[in-house]
Structure 1
Amino acid sequence: MENNEYPTYVFEERMESIKKNLRNYCNETLNLHRKATSLLTNFDEEIVVDVVEKSKELDISGHEIERSCIRFIAMEQPLASDLMYIESSIRVISHVKRIAYLCKNIAESAATIEGIEIPDKIIGDLEYMADYVQIMLTRGFGSFCNQDINVARELAVDDDKVDDLFDVILSQTTEILTGKTEYALEIVNIIFIARYLERIADRVVNIGERVIFINTHKRPHIEELKKEE
């Protein structure tokens, strides 16, 4: 029997609450990334501690939003696009939680290279990479919250740029490591930071793919695999 009362006022209110909490969650993670990457040029031990603690808080709050999504499915039994949005939100939250922990990793690695003489070119490229990922985060989170499929489709191109930056930084740091340096272990952490940034970009692409899936019912990487057959 068709439910003429769907969606109810309570349904819409709970749906909007989830969307609001998810927007706030993304904004807090965006700020966390900005704070973590600022340590690359302006190190502050207190900020490292703050980033580590905030990443733990975001893990907890992300879990709470996931629970509210599951509770919403159980109580409201959403249909079609609403169900797809809530299910995708759970997956997106998982990506955002991981991004928060990658920010923690960046902050901790930044502490290991503090005070070490690193070529300006490497630091400059690393800072540029961090800024580029910050833009990707802004666009990726916005694409999901606003269901902007055009922006979501552009994220894969942005990710290619981040991959290129990683290759440049890897090449430069490897060149240093092949020579004599007493800071070999510390220099390796530059590669780790670049790798963490690259992984954040990959997570953003995953978020964009959820936007595309919600609006087209197709997963980009699956469609690519089909073309290869």
Structure 2
Amino acid sequence: MQRGYPRIRFQKKLDRLKEEVDTMGQATLNAYRDAFSTFIEYDPELVKNVMETNRKVHEMGYQIEHNAMSIIAAEQPVAGDLRFIEASIKVSSHLKRICGLASNIAEVARHVKDEEIPEKPMFDLQRMADIVDGMVSKSLAAFLAKNMNVARELHRDDDKVDDLFDHALKEITKSMFQDKESISYSIYLLFLARFLERIADRAENIGDRTIFMITCEKQQFTLEKKQE
């Protein structure tokens, strides 16, 4: 019984680390949803919530890094356990960035709250936002469940977001040339499209990190290296 105790204690530490990443991920997803909701229908309380959640998520990230490093120092894990701990640090870093981008979206909402956005760009941005929402949710689920199939779906989803981003860019730019008065808010729509595209990239990176954690396939990190 005593011989197995260190492993039980170690597993409990890993389970706690996993729970911390899950909590951080759910807070990040909620911040993203609140941010886009207040872009659709401005709500100063939601903006305040997003900013506060961003602060808390960053604190969670630092705590996860500290706890992960403590486990490595105390337990000296190897192989799969070490990859999970390293992945938890990396995933928390991506979640911090996603939440930061969510706060940027909330800032965009402040600038366009009194503008009447044309139907076409709103439709494209909403489609992007819906796919990105699913990507963030999928990436977290894939990591927590160590589900490679779900992680691989993120590449296809990211391609869809990239296509929508290119289309939105063309449409918004075209409207700026056709209606000079739209330039003041169209700039913020371009920012919004870029923020959504970058969140999608981060979600894809979480999926890539999940695949690496499971298979140790190093070729998965092209986008991640590009962003760092």
Secondary structure of residue in 2 paired with 1:182: helix
Single out whichever of 39-48 and 105-114 deviates more from structure 2: 39-48
Single out whichever of 100-109 and 47-56 deviates more from structure 2: 47-56
Percent identity of paired positions between Structure 1 and Structure 2: 41
- Please tell me whether the aligned partners of residues 209 and 220 of structure 1 are also in contact (alpha carbons under 8 angstroms): no
1:215 paired to 2:186? no
Q: Distance in 1 between matches of 2:181 and 2:193?
A: 21
The structure with the largest helix share of the pair is 2
Q: Give the alignment's TM-score, normalised by structure 2.
A: 0.92
Deviations 1:50-98 (A, max 9, x none): 2112101110111111110011110111121001110111111111100
Aligned match of 2:90: 91
Task: Please report how far the alpha carbon of residue 5 of structure 1 lies from its aligned counterpart in structure 2 after TM superposition.
Answer: 4.6
After superposition, the CA RMSD in angstroms is 1.7
- Please tell me whether the aligned partners of residues 212 and 219 of structure 1 are also in contact (alpha carbons under 8 angstroms): no
- Please tell me whether the aligned partners of residues 132 and 200 of structure 2 are also in contact (alpha carbons under 8 angstroms): yes
Structure 1 stretches of 4+ moved >2 Å: 4-7, 179-183, 219-223
Single out whichever of 144-153 and 33-42 deviates more from structure 2: 33-42
Task: Please report how far the alpha carbon of residue 153 of structure 1 lies from its aligned counterpart in structure 2 after TM superposition.
Answer: 1.0
Q: Distance in 2 between matches of 1:116 and 1:35?
A: 19
Deviations 1:24-69 (A, max 9, x none): 1111111111111111221111211221121011101111111100
Task: Please report how far the alpha carbon of residue 219 of structure 1 lies from its aligned counterpart in structure 2 after TM superposition.
Answer: 2.7
Secondary structure of residue in 1 paired with 2:40: coil
Q: Distance in 2 between matches of 1:163 and 1:199?
A: 10
Aligned match of 1:111: 110
Deviations 1:162-212 (A, max 9, x none): 001111111111011113423413211101011001000000111111111
Secondary structure of residue in 1 paired with 2:181: coil
Q: Distance in 2 between matches of 1:180 and 1:120?
A: 15
Deviations 1:11-30 (A, max 9, x none): 11111110111111111111
Q: Give the alignment's TM-score, normalised by structure 1.
A: 0.91
Q: Distance in 2 between matches of 1:41 and 1:186?
A: 14
- Please tell me whether the aligned partners of residues 40 and 127 of structure 1 are also in contact (alpha carbons under 8 angstroms): no
Aligned match of 1:67: 66
Q: Distance in 2 between matches of 1:134 and 1:68?
A: 28
Structure 2: which 5+ runs fail to align?
223-228
Q: Distance in 1 between matches of 2:210 and 2:46?
A: 33
- Please tell me whether the aligned partners of residues 211 and 220 of structure 2 are also in contact (alpha carbons under 8 angstroms): no
Q: Distance in 1 between matches of 2:118 and 2:136?
A: 27
Question: 1:43-192 maps to which residues of 2 (within 5 A)?
Answer: 43-192=42-191
Q: Distance in 2 between matches of 1:110 and 1:171?
A: 21
Q: Distance in 2 between matches of 1:198 and 1:7?
A: 44
Task: Please report how far the alpha carbon of residue 6 of structure 1 lies from its aligned counterpart in structure 2 after TM superposition.
Answer: 8.1
Aligned match of 2:21: 22
Q: Distance in 1 between matches of 2:91 and 2:194?
A: 21
Q: Distance in 2 between matches of 1:24 and 1:222?
A: 25
Deviations 1:107-133 (A, max 9, x none): 101111112122111112111211110
Residue identity in the other structure for 1:135: G
Residue identity in the other structure for 1:187: S
